[in-house]
Chains A and B, each alone.
Chain A
Amino acid sequence: MTAPYGLDPADVAFARLGDASLRRAYGLASYLLGDAIEAEDATQETMARAWRARRSLLDPAALEVWLDRILVNTCRDRLRRRRAIKIVDLEASGEMEARDPFRDFLARDELGSALDALTPDQRVVVVLRFWRDLSLDQISERLGWPLGTVKSRLHHAMAAMRDRLERDAKHELREVVR
Chain B
Amino acid sequence: MNDTEMEKWLAERFRAAPNPEPSERLQQVVDADRIRASIPRRWAMPSRALGLSGRRPVLAGLVGLAATAILAAGLLTVVASRLTQTPAAPGGGIEWQPSTQVSGFAFTFGPYLASADGRLYMVGSINGLGGSSSTEVWSSADGASWERVSQPGTFEKYGPGFFPQGFSGDGQGGLVIVGGVAGGPAWHSSDGRTWTSAQFETPALARMAAVAARPGAIVAIGDRQVPIPDSATMSGQTANQMYAWFSAEGNAWSQVVLPDSLGYVPRAITAWKGGFAAVADKEVAADWASSVWTSADGRTWEKAPQELAFSPIAIVALGDRVVTVGARLDSELGMVPASWSSTDGRKWTESTASVRDRATMFDDVAVVGDTLVAIGSSHMYTTDVAGGPASTTPPMPPESVWISSDGATWRLLAEDSSLNFGFLNTHVASLGGRVVIATQRASAVEVFLGDLVP
* Chain A interface residues toward B at CB < 8 A: 1-13, 15-23, 26-27, 30-31, 36-37, 39-41, 43-44, 47-48, 51-52, 55-56, 58-61, 63-64, 90, 95-98, 101-102, 105, 109-111, 114, 126, 130-131, 155, 158, 161-162, 165
Contact = CB atoms under 8 A, between A and B. Distances in A.
Contact of B265 (A5, A8, A40): A8
A10 B266 CA distance: 12
Among A30, A40, A55, residue most surrounded by chain B Cβ atoms (within 10 Å) = A40
Interface in B174-203: 180-182
B143 to A, nearest CB: 21
Contacts of A26: 20-22, 26
A9 B58 CA distance: 36
B207 A10 contact: yes
B11 A130 contact: yes
Contact of B225 (A13, A55, A101): A55
A105 B379 CA distance: 42
Contacts of B224: 58
A165 B11 CA distance: 16
B52 A98 contact: no
Contacts of A61: 127, 130-133, 160-161, 181
B51 A44 contact: yes
B58 A60 contact: no
A152 to B, nearest CB: 13
Contacts of B72: 2
B425 A15 contact: no
B424 interface: yes
A162 B225 contact: no
Contact of B3 (A18, A101, A105, A158): A158
Contact of A5 (B22, B31, B361): B361
Contacts of B209: 8, 10
A46 to B, nearest CB: 9
Given A2-B382, A41-B53, A110 B13 contact: yes
A2 B31 contact: yes
B288 A111 contact: no
Nearest to B61: A98
Interface stretch (B32-40, B114-122, B410-418, B428-436): B32-40
A55 B240 contact: yes
21 contacts: A1-B31, A1-B34, A2-B31, A5-B311, A6-B288, A10-B109, A13-B163, A17-B127, A27-B19, A27-B20, A44-B50, A47-B34, A48-B33, A48-B34, A56-B225, A59-B161, A60-B108, A60-B181, A63-B129, A90-B55, A110-B13
A17 B58 contact: no
A98 B62 CA distance: 13
A130 B33 contact: no
Contacts of A55: 223, 225, 240, 265
Contacts of B35: 2-4
| Those 5 A-B pairs whose CB atoms lie nearest each other, nearest first | A61-B131, A30-B20, A26-B22, A61-B161, A48-B33
Contacts of A130: 7, 10-11, 13-14
A15 B33 CA distance: 11
A161 B288 contact: no
Contact of A23 (B21, B385, B386): B21
B303 interface: no
B92 interface: no
B302 to A, nearest CB: 24
Contacts, number: 204
A131 B14 contact: yes
Given A12-B385, A16-B385, A22 B22 contact: yes
A53 B336 CA distance: 28
B29 interface: yes
Contact of A3 (B238, B386, B424): B424
B356 interface: no
B30 A56 contact: no
Contacts of B223: 55
A102 B423 contact: no
B17 A111 contact: yes
Among B20, B27, B361, B423, residue most surrounded by chain A Cβ atoms (within 10 Å) = B20
Contacts of B1: 162, 165
Contacts of B327: 5-6
A136 B276 CA distance: 52
B216 interface: no
Among A12, A31, A51, residue most surrounded by chain B Cβ atoms (within 10 Å) = A12
A1 B207 contact: no
A161 B20 contact: no
B77 to A, nearest CB: 11
A58 B57 CA distance: 37
Contacts of B52: 37, 40-41, 44
Contacts of A16: 108, 385-388
Interface in B139-172: 160-161, 163, 165
A5 B284 CA distance: 14
A44 B58 contact: no
